[in-house]
Amino acid sequence: MDFSLTYHETLSKLKSVSYDGVLAAYHLPEMNGIDLLHHVRELFGDLPFILYTGAEKEDIANDALSYGADLCLTDYIDIRFERTRLIHVINRIIEGREIKQALQKSIAQLYHAEYIAGLGHWTYDPDSGMILASLGAQVIIGCNTEKITIDDLLNVLLIKDRSRFSASLQDFILRKRTLNEECKIRRPTDNALIDVHFIAEYDPASHTVFGIIQDITGRKKIERALRLSESKFRMLVENINDVIFSV
């Protein structure tokens, strides 16, 4: 653990030694603690940064947190006698970041899996009419935001499918059945006409709907090609008057 009294001394030590974190007071000789925070974030990335603001500095604490401080302390820590407490605080910050990084990695892996499978998941709140769409669902639907309204979703469906899907969704919520609908979407991002499959379940405890959406355009093309091939084969057989077998 080291101490420094000036901005330049602080940066010099941070550049020469690998530290677990920085504890800074708001009032410093050459600049304030938020200015130091900006420089630390610019030069040392996500190095844990704790700012002591004092009990009457709530606005400063809010600014510091918005600029990337990990923690703002209103009660004074005398690091000469409370080193163990400070180390514990820094370790909690590091553990929290590791959990956050693991969560972000899991989300990235989920999105990659959704992308490969042509899948997405979504949650619908009937009371607010809002849908939370995963990245995979956003790609399929053709929206650029996580939050959309049920009307936004209905508007990308072809007109012939809108009323049917809306009625099925309401009936599914009232009767607590599984939603299972295939529809066509005109995706606004690339104007592509695609086939999608909605499957969802209703949770009465939270009064929310959780579902998945899958791009089944490729499967539908194969099904149409098979039906066409079967139709042509049937017509061919029906038009053959005499069948000759040779051995």
Provide the residue ranges of all domains of the chain, joining segments of one domain with +: 7-107, 118-237
pLDDT of residue 157: 95
- Rounded CA separation 128/168 (Å): 18
Predicted pLDDT of residue 155: 94
For residue 132, list its beta bridge partners: 123, 147
Q: Which two tokens stand for residue 89?
A: 């605080």
Q: How many helices (H) and strands (E) does the chain have?
A: 8, 9
Q: How confident is residue 247, by pLDDT bands cut at 50, 70 and 90?
A: very low
Task: CATH number for 7-107: choose from 3.30.450.40, 3.40.50.300, 3.20.20.70, 3.40.50.2300.
Answer: 3.40.50.2300
220 has pLDDT over 50 = yes
Distance from chain centroid for Cα 47: 24
| Six-digit token string for 241 | 């008057």
* Segment 149-158, tens digit of pLDDT: 999 999 999 9
First-to-final CA distance of the chain: 94
pLDDT in tens, 136-150: 999 999 998 999 999
Helical ranges in the chain per DSSP H = 7-16, 33-44, 58-66, 83-117, 135-141, 150-156, 159-175, 217-238
Taking residues 95-121, report their average pLDDT: 78
* 143 contacts 122 by C-beta, under 8 angstroms: no
pLDDT at 242: 52
**Predicted pLDDT of residue 3:** 78
Model confidence at 245: pLDDT above 50: no
pLDDT tens column, 11-28? 888 888 888 888 888 887
pLDDT of residue 132: 93
Whole-number pLDDT of residue 246: 47
pLDDT reported for residue 107: 73
Confidence of residue 102 (pLDDT cuts 50, 70, 90): confident
Query: What percentage of the chain carries pLDDT values higher than 70?
Result: 88
Q: Domain spanning 118-237: which superfamily?
A: PAS domain (3.30.450.20)
In sequence order, the 6+-apart residues with CB closer than 8 A to the CB of 77 are 23, 52, 85, 86
Return the percentage of the chain with pLDDT > 90, whole number.
28
232 vs 180: CA distance, rounded Å = 31
Note if the pTM is more than 0.85. Answer: no
Residues 116-137 pLDDT 10s: 767 899 999 999 999 999 989 9
Secondary-structure breakdown of the chain: helix, strand, coil percentages, each rounded to the nearest 5: 50, 20, 30
pLDDT tens digit string along 58-67? 788 888 888 8
13 in Cβ contact with 2 (< 8 Å): yes
Half-sphere exposure of 116 (CA within 13 A, CB side): 5
